[in-house]
Chains A and B, each alone.
Chain A
Amino acid sequence: MLAVQAQQPRFIFIGGIKVVSEQPQSFTMEQFYKQILQGKLVGGKCKKCGKVHLPPRPSCDNCFSKEFEWIELPRNGKLLTYTIIYVAPAQFQGMAPYAVGIVQLENGLKIPGMIRGVAPEQIKIGMPLTIDFGTCAATQQWPQWPRYHFKPA
């Protein structure tokens, strides 16, 4: 069973979406994205073995502990690899061509995302990037998650 919150959490509304205003007790991807909406890039740190999970997991895949704490992750990293998508799924067709890549954060963890604010031919493996929450809004369709992106640091 997933971790159940012991107390009723307090909620705030951001962009019409109900968001937990305190750090949530469930170490889930939904809670990860709710914190993205608050401008925070977080991971779940296992209290037993110390492994940091991005995305968070409700149970540690290393030691199987269910005891975690949220930690803020570095916002800067370097680009490991990228592609320019020309043939896009329906909901992204208006944006194509667009760049997506995998970024290694300064603490070594990896995270994919779109790369904006740079011409495709200027994108280089190894370039420093930073996460941008500027245009983040939760989508209205399921799931109600926001999309962060990366831009040149």
Chain B
Amino acid sequence: MKGKPLVSIVSAGLSKFGKLEGFYAREIFAEAAKEAFDRCPKLDPKKDIKALFVGQMGESYEHQGHTGATMADWAGLLHIPATRTEAACASSGAALRAGIYAVLSGLCDVVMVGGVEKMTHRTTAEVTEYLAMASDYPFEQWHGITFPGLFALMATAHMHEYGTTEKQLAMVAVKNHYHGSLNPKAHMQKEITLENALSSRVIAWPLKLYDCSLITDGASCLILTKPELAKKYTDTPVHIIGSGQASDTIGMYEREGFTSLTAAKLAAKKAYEMADVKPEDIDVAEVHDCFTIAEIITYEDLGFCKLGEGGRLVESGDTRLGGRIPVNTSGGLKAKGHPVGATGTAQAYEMYLQLTGQADKRQVKDAELGLTHNVGGSGATAAVHIYRRD
């Protein structure tokens, strides 16, 4: 199994990310699905697609549950089995994993996986409350710890242990906003300066406004099939060669330490082993930068640098386009935006573009191997996938 494709991506779709006023989640999902169908004329969606797995975090936003069937209906895929996967911000990372189970089991030749979230019509206070549901209620939310607060606890610990600075955190934001400026589907397509980031208002010290990802509307999807069927649908499939998903305590306080995410390290180890590749083999990565500190910790968890050197890695410029290992070329959650349920498969969409040479101004030259890293909550879920071009 080592290094062999588990499944192949034959098409992918992404809605515009941003403040999509006047649209419902299902309408946004239909836009992403339509792009995936248009990209793959040899696919007959109604005949070929045998199941849908769709990630969404919250039903509170639109007072609408039963997301699986709703999205299948609006995507034009009536009557197929359709199931929502929920793992907080890793909801569609989990949908991707579920799609891999479905194809590898032999039960389905072709499946759609995706994710969606419609958030911006709610007030910031409401969104803050809904997002907090991804963390522990009895000991974290109950004592006034917000979602940014959890990552701020990690940031304080990382700064104390390794000397990481607020300036290095801001550098993640500056880099990802630069990448976002090259992505026509990104929520924010303008560059920011270090000064903008460092002088923005404090949300949960040491994290400031520009250390936080955006409240965004959006949807994403992929069409997966068995590797042996991939060429029936496209000449340029992208193969998923490694998949890892892991969980951890829901209460962050119960964990061994606060400067790395055990679930992410375990998921990465599984994915690397399955793909038979090493961190230094990866050409491009999309990682879960829900907060700037999360990207720095992720560099270390994925083995892109040594423990404690994440701050220095962003400072070196190695993770910027043109660097040794460009990270979040899409703009990441920070600039492309973070419609929570859509994020995992939106990361895979960027990998699909990069590994088929369709990433335009943000194309990583000769990219062969890619990685996505999707985290739920403060790290109680993590999903890591490794991709190879055909």
B204 touches A147 (CB 8 A): no
Known interface pairs A86-B202, A110-B253, A112-B139; A125-B146 also in contact (CB < 8 Å): no
Please give, as numbers and ranges, the residues of chain B lying within 8 Å of A87 by CB-CB distance.
128, 146, 148, 203-204
B140 within 8 A of A: yes
Count chain B residues whose beta carbon lies closer than 8 angstroms to a beta carbon of A. Answer: 34
Contact residues of B between 128 and 151, Cβ < 8 Å to A: 128-129, 132, 138-146, 148-149
Please give, as numbers and ranges, the residues of chain B lying within 8 Å of A133 by CB-CB distance.
none
B107 within 8 A of A: no
Interface centre among A92, A98, A112 (most CB of B within 10 A): A112
Contact of A82 among B156, B201, B203, B207 (CB under 8 A): B156
B228 within 8 A of A: no
Q: How many A-B residue pairs have CB under 8 A?
A: 90
A29 within 8 A of B: yes
A92 vs B253: C-alpha distance when bound (angstroms)? 20
Known interface pairs A87-B128, A88-B146; A125-B139 also in contact (CB < 8 Å): no
A87 vs B207: C-alpha distance when bound (angstroms)? 11
A114 within 8 A of B: yes
B203 touches A86 (CB 8 A): yes
Interface string of B146-174 (1 = CB under 8 A from A): 10110011111100100000000000000
A88 vs B253: C-alpha distance when bound (angstroms)? 19
Contact of A83 among B129, B139, B204 (CB under 8 A): B204
User: Could you list 13 further interchain pairs (A-B, Cβ under 8 angstroms) beyond the known A88-B146, A89-B141, A100-B149?
Assistant: A81-B156, A81-B258, A83-B155, A83-B206, A86-B201, A86-B205, A87-B148, A89-B125, A89-B132, A112-B139, A112-B140, A145-B138, A145-B142
Q: Which residues of B contact A (CB under 8 A)?
A: 125, 128-129, 132, 138-146, 148-149, 152-157, 160, 201-207, 251-254, 258
